[in-house]
Amino acid sequence: MSGHSKWATIKRKKGKADAERGKIFTRHIKEITIAAREGGGDPDGNPRLRTAIAAAKASNMPADNIKRAIMKGTGELPGVTYESVVYEGYGPGGVALYMEVMTDNKNRTVSEIRHYLSKYGGNLGANGCVAWMFHKKGIITVELDAADEDTLLEIAMENGAEDMTSDSGSYEIITPPEEIDNVRQALEAKGIPMVSAEVTMQPENLVKLTKENEISSMLKLYELLEEHDDIQKVYTNFDIDQEMLEKLA
């Protein structure tokens, strides 16, 4: 398991939320709005929108909020115009950072990201500088007690999954990006609840951090980037020994 995943797990165990509910809803609204604007407001013909709606529902986002976000995307309701952009760079120890952003002010956002990186020993890079270190995968998370392992594996593999792993109290079903919706729908049809279902960027190789100052800086930087209002998702390739993580958490 990569370092950032372990750090997220520790935060959950200590009762820390990834973000306040309002911030989570804002991220879902942005994604739904962009998906509807780019692919239309009908989820049946728009896989990105369908996945965004499923993620919003998994966070208990009210149906009215989802509907309004779609209507803002299609132009039926007025709203802020968001732009999708990717920023890439490096953190302490040469860790790769790939950040998916949705913003109404690119100049403000990039200035703030550059400040964070500079403060914690990183730097912003050119487009493509770290993208090659990651590959897109669909990840569906299911609690261990939500389904029998053999049954879950069978459903997943029959509907396009590549693999399934278990760790930290849950199963992770790994799919090609284009198959995540098929697997999600198959699980829903069987009444199996999911914690999350999203397309993510997985690192090809991990960079292990061993120096305490680099580890501390990386964790602070990662948390700041995760909590930034305009950053939808942060992907990194750092790895840290569990013992060291718990010591510093």
Place of tokens 């090609």: 176
Same domain, 219 and 127: yes
For 228, phi then psi, to 5°, come to -65, 135
Same domain, 66 and 180: no
What pTM value is reported for the model? 0.78
61 inside domain: yes
Same domain, 145 and 190: yes
Same domain, 144 and 24: no
165 inside domain: yes
- Percent of the chain at pLDDT exceeding 90: 66
Same domain, 123 and 218: yes
166 inside domain: yes
Same domain, 183 and 93: no
Q: How many domains does the chain have?
A: 3
CATH number, domain of 128, equals: 3.30.70.980
Same domain, 11 and 52: yes
For 86, phi then psi, to 5°, come to -115, 130
Residue 7 belongs to what H/E stretch? Answer: helix 3-13
248 inside domain: no
Q: Which tops the pLDDT comparison, 17 or 67?
A: 67
Those residues with Cβ within 8 angstroms of residue 26's Cβ, 6 or more apart along the chain or in another chain = 229
Find the domain containing 51 and state its range: 3-74
Characterise 15 by phi-psi region: left (phi > 0), alpha (psi -120 to 50), beta (else): left
What confidence score (pLDDT) does residue 12 get?
46
Span 175-184, pLDDT tens digits: 999 999 899 9
Same domain, 157 and 211: no
What confidence score (pLDDT) does residue 5 get?
52
Same domain, 64 and 92: no
Judge whether residue 4 has pLDDT over 60.
Answer: no
Same domain, 99 and 185: no
What confidence score (pLDDT) does residue 198 get?
86
What's the CA dihedral at 203, 14, 231, 82 to 10 degrees?
Answer: 130
Judge whether residue 7 has pLDDT over 70.
Answer: no
249 inside domain: no
Same domain, 138 and 190: yes
Span 10-36, pLDDT tens digits: 444 434 454 466 778 888 999 999 999
The pair of structure tokens assigned to 11 is 């935060």
Span 118-177, pLDDT tens digits: 999 999 999 999 999 999 999 999 999 999 999 999 999 999 999 999 877 899 999 999
